[in-house]
Amino acid sequence: MTTATLADLRAIEDLGHRFADAANHRDYDAFAALWTEDAVWQILPPIDVRFTARREIRAAIENLLGRWDFFVQMPHAPVVELEGDRARSRWTVQEIARSADRTRGNFNLAFYHDELVRLDGRWLYAHRTYHTRYFDDSPLPGTTCALPA
């Protein structure tokens, strides 16, 4: 395996890590920067929403996270397939969150199936599709702490 291939694989895994890190820290600009201009972010039923273009994705993440008291995504087990300037990735993600009024929990196990492109030497998401595998909205009884300053 060449250094260039290792760098590509690393960049694609890094993108999934930065997606979670930006969402978890509510850094909306960092989140938006991970997508192509005309990217599609699709969250399949039962959630069932679809956002098109970086600008709409930027608004969506701010709106979605505004509904939660806290939100933490934990990505696992990236599997990447490189095809020149395009790639696919797949992740197993766990999300734990609680509604802003703290009456409803959110414990999700899901998969992201992704399409990526390399533009000007940088890997970006062209399409992420979220497949829920298990969800539980039982209340969560714990205590939230503020985000790091």
Check: CB of residue 10 under 8 Å from CB of residue 21: no
Residues making contact with a second copy (CB under 8 A):
1-3, 6-7, 9-11, 14, 16-18, 20-21, 24-25, 45-46, 70, 72-79, 90, 92, 94, 96, 98, 107, 109, 111, 113, 129, 131-138, 140-145, 147-148
Which residue, 9 or 57, is less far from a second copy as judged by CB?
9
Q: For strand 49-52 and strand 68-83, is the pairing parallel, antiparallel, or unpaired?
A: unpaired
Closest CA to 142 of 70, 94, 64: 70
Closest CA to 134 of 78, 93, 100: 93
Sign (positive or negative) of CA dihedral 122, 52, 27, 114: negative
Q: How far is the CB of 99 from a second copy (least distance, A)?
A: 13
Which residue, 60 or 110, is less far from a second copy as judged by CB?
110
Which residue, 72 or 100, is less far from a second copy as judged by CB?
72
Which residue, 53 or 75, is less far from a second copy as judged by CB?
75
